[in-house]
């Protein structure tokens, strides 16, 4: 039972096959003119175009691809930082993954006013828009947020953040890593300036991520690639060393997976409507799993959910973090793993958030179970059975450790 999808989704056969075919038949440097090179070039170009369709960014921006969202945000931070002046303000959503914090915090060294949009100090960790409004002053240049916290699972009203930030002339950079596997990205509807996600968490291969930027948001930024590359060649300038060609082949194979998911011909043309239909089906398949696990964790007295709980009215995806009333998170994970529930514990790179919230040990962090549309109701029921047994035998587990495994 793979419940560690927030760390990276499983890879469909069609994606693995596409990568394999590319490595066997099309492995060559781009732009050389011979057939194999031309096929590789076409693959990389098509992957970028498909990402624009997937994110609904056609005609309004372009995409840059890289090894990870962390790498792309670090590159973007350097480029944007070069345009800021001492006294300019950056606002960071406190619930962010460190990849969306570190690049902006670093700019304090050049006199940038970096402040946090703090969440509530209960385990719901809710963000107040009134608090954001107080932070938005005329000198604000950037608001950095996470669309879905990879620890909390809560969905942020991104469009509202963008509207508020744009009123003072600030740009918005959104981390969509924990949102993208669950729902269709729509940068056009949200009006966001930059949006990043990791393809390896959306049914692709490791070593691939995508950053969308609006044309006007990229304008004036200089990427880190070689001096002889013109700044206006945004993609080339930002893709230092190029992208993984075989990774791009895997990205393109997502089209096949979406078609299969919808019962369409594998090679049918993918447009924006098909993307939305496929992710709508994913959301529909995920909904009963989310409801069942959320209901169990929220109502069980031995567990405390970190993030929105049942009845809170807050939108969420099927990523659940929690702590046990007495057992360390590592012990709970050991018990879950010994029963075949693959998950993990820790701060999930949201170390600052774990330190800020009550009842969370900064070393232990939380237990996280994260599901996607391919998980089953039977798997959820099995995980609930295991969690119930852990709770019922907590005192024995605390003293005997692995001896409890047989009872799970």
**CATH 3.40.50.2300, applies to 284-392:** no
User: Where are the domains positioned within the chain?
Assistant: 12-261, 284-392
80-117: per-residue pLDDT in tens?
Answer: 999 999 999 999 999 999 999 999 999 999 999 999 99
- pLDDT, mean over the chain: 94
Give the pLDDT score at 244.
96
186-217: per-residue pLDDT in tens?
Answer: 999 999 999 999 999 999 989 999 999 999 99
Of residues 117, 171, 111, the one with CA closest to residue 149: 117
**CATH 3.20.20.210, applies to 12-261:** no
Of residues 181, 204, 126, 183, the one with CA closest to residue 371: 181
Residue 311 has pLDDT above 80, yes or no: no
137-159 average pLDDT score: 97
339-346 average pLDDT score: 96
CB atoms within 10 A of CB 276: 14
Give the pLDDT score at 405.
41
Give the pLDDT score at 401.
55
Give the pLDDT score at 123.
87
Contact 136, 172 (CB under 8 A): no
pLDDT interval class at 399 (50, 70, 90) = low
Of residues 323, 296, 320, the one with CA closest to residue 370: 320
Give the pLDDT score at 400.
58
Share of residues in the chain with pLDDT > 70 (%)? 97
Q: How far apart are CA 46 and CA 314, in angstroms?
A: 37
147-166 average pLDDT score: 97
Please, what is the Cα angle at 284 between 283 and 288, to 5 degrees?
105
33-57: per-residue pLDDT in tens?
Answer: 999 999 999 999 999 999 999 999 9
220-248: per-residue pLDDT in tens?
Answer: 999 999 999 998 899 999 999 999 999 99
CB atoms within 10 A of CB 101: 24
Domain 12-261 shares a fold with domain 284-392: no
Give the pLDDT score at 312.
76
Contact 181, 12 (CB under 8 A): no
Give the pLDDT score at 27.
96
Q: How far apart are CA 243 and CA 236, in angstroms?
A: 10
50-66 average pLDDT score: 98
Contact 164, 136 (CB under 8 A): yes
Q: How far is CA 152 from CA 102, 274, 292, 308, 334, in A?
A: 19, 29, 17, 7, 21
Q: How far apart are CA 367 and CA 355, in angstroms?
A: 15
Q: What is the pTM of this model?
A: 0.96
Give the pLDDT score at 404.
40
For residue 155, the 8-state DSSP code is B
Q: Which two tokens stand for residue 370?
A: 């994260």
Q: How far apart are CA 129 and CA 124, in angstroms?
A: 15
Give the pLDDT score at 325.
93
Q: How far apart are CA 114 and CA 170, in angstroms?
A: 14
Contact 310, 295 (CB under 8 A): yes
141-152 average pLDDT score: 97
250-309: per-residue pLDDT in tens?
Answer: 999 999 999 999 999 999 999 999 999 999 999 999 999 999 999 999 999 999 999 987
pLDDT interval class at 408 (50, 70, 90) = very low
125-135: per-residue pLDDT in tens?
Answer: 999 999 999 99
Residue 356 has pLDDT above 50, yes or no: yes
């Amino acid at each position: 039972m793979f419940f560690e999808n927030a760390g990276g989704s499983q890879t469909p056969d069609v994606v693995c096959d596409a990568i394999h075919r590319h490595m066997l038949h099309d492995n060559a440097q781009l732009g050389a003119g011979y057939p194999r090179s031309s096929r590789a070039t076409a693959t990389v170009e098509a992957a970028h175009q498909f990402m624009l369709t997937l994110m609904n960014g056609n005609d309004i921006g372009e995409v840059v691809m890289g090894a990870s969202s962390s790498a792309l945000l670090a590159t973007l931070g350097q480029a944007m930082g070069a345009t800021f002046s001492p006294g300019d303000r950056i606002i960071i959503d406190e619930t962010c993954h460190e990849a969306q914090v570190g690049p902006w915090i670093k700019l304090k060294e050049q006199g940038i006013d970096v402040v946090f949009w703090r969440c509530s100090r209960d385990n719901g960790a809710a963000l107040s828009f009134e608090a954001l409004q107080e932070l938005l002053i005329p000198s604000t240049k950037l608001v950095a947020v996470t669309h879905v916290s990879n620890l909390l699972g809560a969905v942020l009203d991104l469009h509202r953040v963008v509207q508020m930030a744009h009123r003072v002339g600030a740009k918005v950079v959104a981390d969509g890593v924990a949102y993208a596997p669950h729902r269709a990205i729509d940068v056009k509807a949200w009006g966001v300036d930059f949006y990043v996600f990791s393809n390896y968490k959306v049914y692709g291969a490791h070593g691939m991520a995508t950053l969308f930027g609006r044309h006007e948001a990229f304008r004036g930024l200089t990427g880190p690639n070689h001096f002889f590359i013109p700044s206006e060649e945004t993609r080339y300038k930002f893709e230092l060393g190029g992208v993984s060609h075989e990774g791009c082949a895997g990205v393109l194979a997502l089209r096949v997976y979406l078609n299969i998911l919808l019962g369409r011909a594998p090679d049918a043309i993918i447009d924006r409507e098909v993307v939305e239909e496929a992710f709508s089906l994913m959301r529909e398949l995920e909904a009963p799993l989310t409801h069942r696990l959320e209901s169990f964790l929220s109502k069980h007295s031995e567990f405390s959910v970190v993030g929105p709980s049942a009845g809170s009215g807050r939108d969420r995806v099927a990523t659940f973090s929690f702590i046990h009333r007495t057992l360390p998170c590592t012990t709970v994970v050991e018990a879950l793993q010994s029963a075949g529930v693959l998950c993990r514990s820790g701060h999930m790179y949201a170390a600052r958030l774990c330190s800020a919230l009550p009842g969370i040990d900064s070393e232990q962090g939380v237990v996280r179970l994260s599901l996607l549309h391919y998980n089953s109701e039977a798997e959820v029921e099995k995980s609930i059975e295991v969690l119930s047994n852990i709770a019922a035998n907590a005192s024995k587990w605390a003293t005997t450790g692995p001896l409890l495994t047989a009872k799970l």
